[in-house]
Amino acid sequence: MQSKHTPTVLLVDDNKEFLDVTEKILREITGYNVLTLADGRETIQVATTQKPDVIVLDVYMPGRDGPDICRQLKGTQELDNIPVLLLTGGGNDAQFRARCLEDGADDFLMKPADSDELIARVNVLLRIKALQDELRRERDELEEKVQARARELEKTETLAAIGKMVAGVAHEIRNPLGAISNSAAVLSRDLILEGEDHKLMDIIVQESNRLRDTITDFLTFAHPPPYNFTLVNLRELVEDVILLAGQDTLCGDEVVFQADIEDYLPEIEIDRDRIHQVLWNLIRNALEATGERGEIAIRVFTQLLNRKNGVVIQIVDDGSGIPDEDVEHIFAPFFTRKAKGSGLGLSMVQSAVKAHCGTVRVQNDDTGGAVFKVWLPVRQG
């Protein structure tokens, strides 16, 4: 049976009396392991060797202050997951609080700190770190499994094997993810969180949701639901997606959408939900490319292709475009250059368009951005 982990708290303060009193309180009341430092310049070295679960830093210390140490901690990959609680005897205005957060602090507390409040804040940071560590473990396990199965797939090179692989991995990860999400929900319900504490809990929930969305992508890729073709007003569908995209967190205040939709478009026979998802994926990609400002142009017009009546949906962004070496791989399953994401979005776009007997193409625009062009037949079969 795995022994229960006893948390370690690192206290860093040039006030020896404060260190002695606080160390005694934490040891006697919580039973935590407590490390103390009177010189902030040793923090990084001790944190690297001892790997504490929480670091409590004084803001003002000779030699090196707390925010500077916090900045280096959060900029070091092996230490960036350690929560930092800053202690200060002054400077509690909005500008100071903003600086603390910008430097990577997870929470801060005014001196003299009440022992009950100090313990409560440390406990909240420990709970959040435990959930974040669990999320990272599950993510790393998922990535390891995907990579291991992908190596096996190099021998088979079949989409059927890919589908079986992602479905198996997704099912393996879904149950522990549910436990993590439920734990976060319980903590969020039972704890009275304010300010930065509430923000940290939101991060836990957001990361759980992101991992859940990744699993949903895997399962949808492996076992897509049946298509339901109906006659759809394409203008209304495109306008709905643009409206939703304008409210998305990726859409900055200076992003402009330009819609040029041909008059008298015919009703088109499609699975509305699937084409909605196709447009949503492509527009979100465009939002990621443009950043906080830029222009995304959506053109919709009729076009005859191979003597079949069809409609083109063209999405153009003014981002940096797609590297030439990536264009031929852009629709391949699991191919991505993004720090976050499953690499299945564009693969599912291509799959859905093909299921509609349509085509999807990508190229770089003369101005530097990317152009995605989807052609769909007006009628199926």
Shared-domain flag, residues 66 and 139: no
Condensed to tens digits (0 to 9), the pLDDT of residues 131-172 reads 888 888 888 888 888 877 776 665 455 555 556 666 666 656
Token digits of residue 372 = 């995605």
53 burial type by CB count under 10 A (0-12 exposed, 13-18 middle, 19+ buried): buried
Q: What is the pLDDT of residue 324?
A: 81
The Cβ of residue 155 has, within 10 Å, a number of other Cβ atoms equal to 8
Shared-domain flag, residues 372 and 234: yes
Shared-domain flag, residues 218 and 243: no
Better-predicted residue by pLDDT, 104 or 161: 104
The residue type of 320 is S
pTM of the entire predicted model: 0.48
Query: Which domain-ending residue is among 222, 254, 275?
Result: 222
Shared-domain flag, residues 76 and 52: yes
* Mean pLDDT of the 39-46 span: 84
Grade residue 128 by pLDDT with cuts at 50, 70 and 90: confident
Domain membership flag for residue 326 = yes
Domain membership flag for residue 210 = yes
Grade residue 267 by pLDDT with cuts at 50, 70 and 90: very high
Q: What is the pLDDT of residue 238?
A: 93
Token digits of residue 78 = 């092996």
Shared-domain flag, residues 342 and 255: yes
Condensed to tens digits (0 to 9), the pLDDT of residues 300-329 reads 999 988 888 999 999 998 888 888 888 787
Shared-domain flag, residues 210 and 316: no
Grade residue 345 by pLDDT with cuts at 50, 70 and 90: confident
Contact 50, 8 (CB under 8 A): yes
Residue 237, pLDDT > 90, answer yes
72 Cβ contact list (under 8 Å, min separation 6): 44
43 burial type by CB count under 10 A (0-12 exposed, 13-18 middle, 19+ buried): buried
Residue 24 belongs to domain with CATH number: 3.40.50.2300
Residue 177, pLDDT > 70, answer no
Condensed to tens digits (0 to 9), the pLDDT of residues 354-366 reads 989 999 999 888 7
First to last CA, the chain: 61
CA atoms of 268 and 379, how far apart (whole Å): 6
Q: What is the pLDDT of residue 147?
A: 79
Domain membership flag for residue 118 = no
CA atoms of 212 and 207, how far apart (whole Å): 8
**What percent of the chain stands above pLDDT 70?**
78
Shared-domain flag, residues 362 and 237: yes
CA atoms of 61 and 114, how far apart (whole Å): 21
Could you give phi then psi for residue 292, rounded to 5 degrees?
A: -75, -15
User: Which residues on adjacent β-strands are paired with residue 126?
Assistant: none
Query: Which domain-ending residue is among 222, 251, 275?
Result: 222
Q: Which of 226, 166, 214 is nearest to 355 (CA)?
A: 226
Domain membership flag for residue 91 = yes
Mean pLDDT over the full length of the chain: 80
User: Residue 306: which domain range?
Assistant: 230-377
CA atoms of 212 and 204, how far apart (whole Å): 12
Shared-domain flag, residues 322 and 372: yes
Shared-domain flag, residues 234 and 326: yes
Better-predicted residue by pLDDT, 229 or 189: 229
Token digits of residue 33 = 């392991």
Number of domains the chain contains: 3
Condensed to tens digits (0 to 9), the pLDDT of residues 191-236 reads 666 667 767 777 777 777 667 666 666 666 666 678 899 999 999 9
Grade residue 1 by pLDDT with cuts at 50, 70 and 90: very low
Q: What is the pLDDT of residue 360?
A: 92
Domain membership flag for residue 120 = no
